[in-house]
Structure 1
Amino acid sequence: MRIRPSGITESHLPQESHRRSVWVPPFGGYPGGDGARWDGMTPDRERSLRDICAETVARHAEELIGLSHRIHARPEPAFAEHQSMAAVADLVAEHGFVVERGVAGLDTAMVGTAGEGELVVGVCAEYDALPEIGHACGHNIIAAASVGAALALRAVADELGVTVRLIGTPAEEVGGGKVLLLERGVFDGVAMAMMVHPSPYEMCEPRSKAIADFEVRYRGRASHAAAAPELGVNAADAVTVAQVAIGLARQHFEPGQQVHGIVTHGGAAPNIVPAHTSAMFNLRAAEIDSLRRLEHRIRCCLEAGAVATGADWETVAISPDYAELRAEPRLVAAYRAAIVELGRVPAGRDEEASRVVGSTDMGNVTQLIPGIHPTISIDCGDAVPHQPEFAAACDTDSADRAVLDGATAMAWTVVSAATNEGLRADLLAGAARRLATSGKSAATGGAA
Structure 2
Amino acid sequence: MKEKVAQLIDNLEEELRQLSEEIYENPELGYKEFKSAKLHEKILEKYGFEVESGYMGIETGFRAEYDSGKEGPTVAFLIEYDALPGIGHGCGHNILGTTSTGASIVLKSIIDEIGGKVVAFGTPAEETSGAKVIFADKGAFDDVDVAMMAHPNFAYNRSGKSLALEPIEFEFTGRTSHAAAAPEKGINALDAAINTFNNINALRQQVRSDARIHGIITNGGDAANIIPEKAVAQFYVRAQTKTYLDELVDRVKNCAKGAALGAGAEIKISNYELNYDNLVTNHTMDDLFVEKLIDMGIPEEDIKDPREGYGSVDAGNVSHICPTIHPYFDITNDTNVAPHTREFASCTLTEFAYDNMKKTIGALVLTAVDILKDKELLEKIKEEFEKAEK
* Letter of the structure 2 residue corresponding to residue 266 of structure 1: G
* Letter of the structure 2 residue corresponding to residue 86 of structure 1: K
SS across alignment from 1:269: coil
- Can you give the 5+ residue segments of structure 2 that lack an aligned partner in the other structure? none
* Letter of the structure 2 residue corresponding to residue 96 of structure 1: G
CA deviation vs aligned residue, 1:7-29 (integer Å, no higher than 9, x gap): xxxxxxxxxxxxxxxxxxxxxxx
- Can you give the 5+ residue segments of structure 1 that lack an aligned partner in the other structure? 1-46, 434-448
Query: Which whole-Å CA distance do the structure 1 matches of 2:273 and 2:307 have between them?
Result: 27
Query: Which whole-Å CA distance do the structure 2 matches of 1:113 and 1:148 have between them?
Result: 14
What residue is the counterpart of 1:174 in the other structure? Answer: 128
1:339 aligns with 2:293: yes
**Matches of residues 268-279 of structure 1 in structure 2 within 5 Å?**
268-279=222-233
Cα pair distance change 1:220/1:147, threshold 3 Å: same
The more displaced of 414-423 and 120-129 is 414-423
1:82 aligns with 2:55: no
Query: Which whole-Å CA distance do the structure 2 matches of 1:286 and 1:216 have between them?
Result: 23
SS across alignment from 1:417: helix
Query: Which whole-Å CA distance do the structure 2 matches of 1:111 and 1:192 have between them?
Result: 15
1:406 aligns with 2:351: no
Q: CA deviation at 1:134?
A: 2.9
SS across alignment from 1:111: strand
The more displaced of 390-399 and 248-257 is 390-399
1:98 aligns with 2:71: no
* Letter of the structure 1 residue corresponding to residue 313 of structure 2: T
* Letter of the structure 1 residue corresponding to residue 186 of structure 2: G
What residue is the counterpart of 1:38 in the other structure? Answer: none
* Letter of the structure 2 residue corresponding to residue 99 of structure 1: V
The 8 Å contact of residues 202 and 345 in structure 1, kept in 2 or not, is answered as: no
Cα pair distance change 1:329/1:308, threshold 3 Å: same
What residue is the counterpart of 2:328 in the other structure? Answer: 375
The 8 Å contact of residues 76 and 134 in structure 1, kept in 2 or not, is answered as: yes
1:418 aligns with 2:372: yes
Query: Which whole-Å CA distance do the structure 2 matches of 1:71 and 1:389 have between them?
Result: 17
The 8 Å contact of residues 147 and 407 in structure 1, kept in 2 or not, is answered as: no
CA deviation vs aligned residue, 1:133-165 (integer Å, no higher than 9, x gap): 332222212210001001100110101112110
* Letter of the structure 2 residue corresponding to residue 65 of structure 1: R
Q: Normalized against structure 2, the TM-score is what?
A: 0.90
Query: Which whole-Å CA distance do the structure 1 matches of 2:300 and 2:269 have between them?
Result: 42
Query: Which whole-Å CA distance do the structure 2 matches of 1:152 and 1:124 have between them?
Result: 15
What residue is the counterpart of 2:11 in the other structure? Answer: 59
Q: CA deviation at 1:253?
A: 1.0
1:70 aligns with 2:19: no
Q: CA deviation at 1:67?
A: 1.5
The more displaced of 95-104 and 168-177 is 168-177
Cα pair distance change 1:225/1:388, threshold 3 Å: farther
SS across alignment from 1:416: helix
Aligned to 1:242, which of 179, 193, 196?
A: 196
Cα pair distance change 1:202/1:94, threshold 3 Å: same
* Letter of the structure 1 residue corresponding to residue 16 of structure 2: L
* Letter of the structure 1 residue corresponding to residue 326 of structure 2: H
SS across alignment from 1:297: helix
Aligned to 2:89, which of 110, 124, 135?
A: 135
Of all paired residues, the percent bearing the same amino acid is 33
Q: CA deviation at 1:388?
A: 4.2
Report how many residues are paired: 383
CA deviation vs aligned residue, 1:388-412 (integer Å, no higher than 9, x gap): 4433434433333343222221111
**Matches of residues 248-259 of structure 1 in structure 2 within 5 Å?**
248-259=202-213
Query: Which whole-Å CA distance do the structure 2 matches of 1:171 and 1:115 have between them?
Result: 27
Give the superposed CA RMSD.
Answer: 2.5
Cα pair distance change 1:308/1:345, threshold 3 Å: farther
* Letter of the structure 1 residue corresponding to residue 266 of structure 2: D
Cα pair distance change 1:220/1:386, threshold 3 Å: farther
1:158 aligns with 2:112: yes
Query: Which whole-Å CA distance do the structure 2 matches of 1:347 and 1:227 have between them?
Result: 71
What residue is the counterpart of 2:316 in the other structure? Answer: 363
SS across alignment from 2:64: strand
Query: Which whole-Å CA distance do the structure 1 matches of 2:277 and 2:237 have between them?
Result: 12
1:149 aligns with 2:103: yes
Cα pair distance change 1:279/1:428, threshold 3 Å: closer
Query: Which whole-Å CA distance do the structure 1 matches of 2:203 and 2:137 have between them?
Result: 34
The more displaced of 285-294 and 68-77 is 68-77
Cα pair distance change 1:302/1:73, threshold 3 Å: farther
SS across alignment from 2:171: strand
Query: Which whole-Å CA distance do the structure 1 matches of 2:339 and 2:169 have between them?
Result: 24
Q: CA deviation at 1:182?
A: 1.9
* Letter of the structure 1 residue corresponding to residue 189 of structure 2: A
CA deviation vs aligned residue, 1:242-289 (integer Å, no higher than 9, x gap): 111111211111131111112222222223322222222111111111
* Letter of the structure 1 residue corresponding to residue 268 of structure 2: E
Cα pair distance change 1:251/1:427, threshold 3 Å: closer
Q: Which has the higher contact order (CA 8 A, sep 6+)?
A: 1
What residue is the counterpart of 2:65 in the other structure? Answer: 113
SS across alignment from 1:283: strand
Query: Which whole-Å CA distance do the structure 2 matches of 1:247 and 1:306 have between them?
Result: 16
